[in-house]
Amino acid sequence: MATSHGNVTSMAQGGPDTAAAPVIRTIGLSELHRALQLGWEDFKAVPSHAIILCIIYPVLGLMLARAVHGYSVLPLLFPLAAGFALLGPFAALGLYEMSRRRQRGEQATAWDALEVLRSPSFGAMLGLGVLLLTLFVTWVTTAQAIYIAAFGYAGSTGISDFAERVLTTPQGWWLIVVGCGVGFLFALVALCISVVSFPLMLDRHAGAGDAMVTSLRAGARNPVPMAAWGLIVAVLLVVGSLPAFLGLAIVIPLLGHATWHLYRETIEPELNPQPLPPRAHRERKPAADFPANLFPWRHKNSA
């Protein structure tokens, strides 16, 4: 009985088996400006990662557009560009890691971005990333259905024909209003569940469920700044998408680094962070032994 009472008391006081919920600050527009400023400083400090993490991102979007069987690519270019806001929080995992290292005064290089793959919470990050990918695919499918409802299955003959349809016909204005409204709902869902989720999982190794709940709490605590942040993200993505998506190579790393600093502005630092278990030492093997390194059991047998 005494042992049971002691366990209950320990749990009530936040013992080792319980983790206190992150403390959320009240922020304003000045914190958003500071997050963007610090994100830009991170980008200038290590700009090479833009090629590794971001150039393939718009290319992937174009490949997804061309993968739509039997359908014109043009009507889906804008939904795909807008959909980057849904996948961006997951695509920027390496950027969070680099900003985290720079903020702690550690060396940060492009290769350090890959360290996120060894995070204890990478499985949770991957799970939430799959959820965002599902949201992205659903949005593109919905956007395609809205376009078909407006213009049918007939494809446009070119950019000028497509622009004339959308901008000068009643069906086009209906498409713009309905498409933007539905897209706003998708973006709102993605923002609410991921605005601080991935940085929290990287920083505190939280589970996906706890991270999403914390993100929802942060949005409820700061509705106006979070709405302004969503607007900033949308505007920058549109601007970055205009020159054939090439501007995303700058916009996405900037937003990725800034998201980490927005997390730092929004969530109180952990008072007693739990130390991670030391990683197992990995023996370095010479490149000359490359074929044999693939079959380590042969070394044991020969020994």
Name the token pair of 89. Answer: 């929080």
53 or 231: whose pLDDT is higher? 231
DSSP state of 158: S
100 or 74: whose pLDDT is higher? 100
Q: What is the pLDDT of residues 137-168, one digit of tens each?
A: 999 899 889 988 888 877 666 677 777 888 88
Would 219 be classed as within a structural domain? Answer: yes
88 or 287: whose pLDDT is higher? 88
pLDDT (average), residues 91-104? 88
pLDDT band at 51; cut points 50, 70, 90: low
Would 19 be classed as within a structural domain? Answer: no
What one-letter code names the amino acid at 228?
Answer: A
Would 106 be classed as within a structural domain? Answer: yes
What Å distances lie between residue 21 and 121, 175, 218, 270, CA to CA?
A: 17, 43, 12, 10
Would 225 be classed as within a structural domain? Answer: yes
Lowest-confidence region among 61-75, 101-115, 125-139:
61-75
Give the 3-state DSSP-derived string for 2-62, with helices as H, strands as E and coil as C: HHHHHHHHHHHCCCCCCCCCCCECCCCHHHHHHHHHHHHHHHHHCCCHHHHHCCHHHHHHH
Residue with tokens 């407006």: 150
- Please give the pLDDT value at position 245: 66
CB neighbour class for 205 (10 Å; exposed up to 12, middle 13-18, buried from 19): middle
Q: Which of 70-79, 113-122, 235-244, 284-293 has the highest mean pLDDT?
A: 113-122
- Say if residue 34's pLDDT is above 70: yes
Sign for the pseudo-dihedral over CA of 132, 210, 89, 236: positive
Name the token pair of 179. Answer: 């498409």
- Say if residue 204's pLDDT is above 70: yes
247 or 302: whose pLDDT is higher? 247
- Please give the pLDDT value at position 66: 56
Sign for the pseudo-dihedral over CA of 66, 68, 72, 77: negative
- Say if residue 83's pLDDT is above 70: yes
Per the DSSP assignment, residues forming a β-bridge with 24 are 267
Using alpha carbons, select from 170, 133, 150 the residue that is nearest to residue 75: 150
Please state the separation of Cα 82 from the chain's center in Å. Answer: 14
Q: What is the pLDDT of residues 243-255, one digit of tens each?
A: 666 777 788 888 8
Contacts of 61 (CB under 8 A, 6+ apart): 80, 81, 83, 84, 245
- The pair phi, psi for residue 280, each rounded to 5°, is -65, 140
Would 169 be classed as within a structural domain? Answer: yes
In this structure, are residues 251 and 236 in contact, taking their beta carbons and an 8 Å threshold? yes
Q: What is the pLDDT of residues 161-200, one digit of tens each?
A: 777 888 888 888 998 899 889 988 998 999 999 999 999 9
Would 123 be classed as within a structural domain? Answer: yes
Count structural domains, the chain. Answer: 1
- Please give the pLDDT value at position 26: 93
Residue with tokens 């204005």: 173
Percent of the chain with pLDDT over 90: 31
User: Cα(117)–Cα(260) distance, rounded to whole angstroms?
Assistant: 17
Would 165 be classed as within a structural domain? Answer: yes
Q: Which of 57-61, 92-96, 220-224 has the highest mean pLDDT?
A: 220-224
User: Cα(118)–Cα(179) distance, rounded to whole angstroms?
Assistant: 39
pTM, whole model, 2 decimals? 0.74
73 or 9: whose pLDDT is higher? 73
Whole domain around residue 217: which residue ranges?
Answer: 25-268
- Say if residue 134's pLDDT is above 90: yes
- Please give the pLDDT value at position 218: 95
- Please give the pLDDT value at position 194: 92
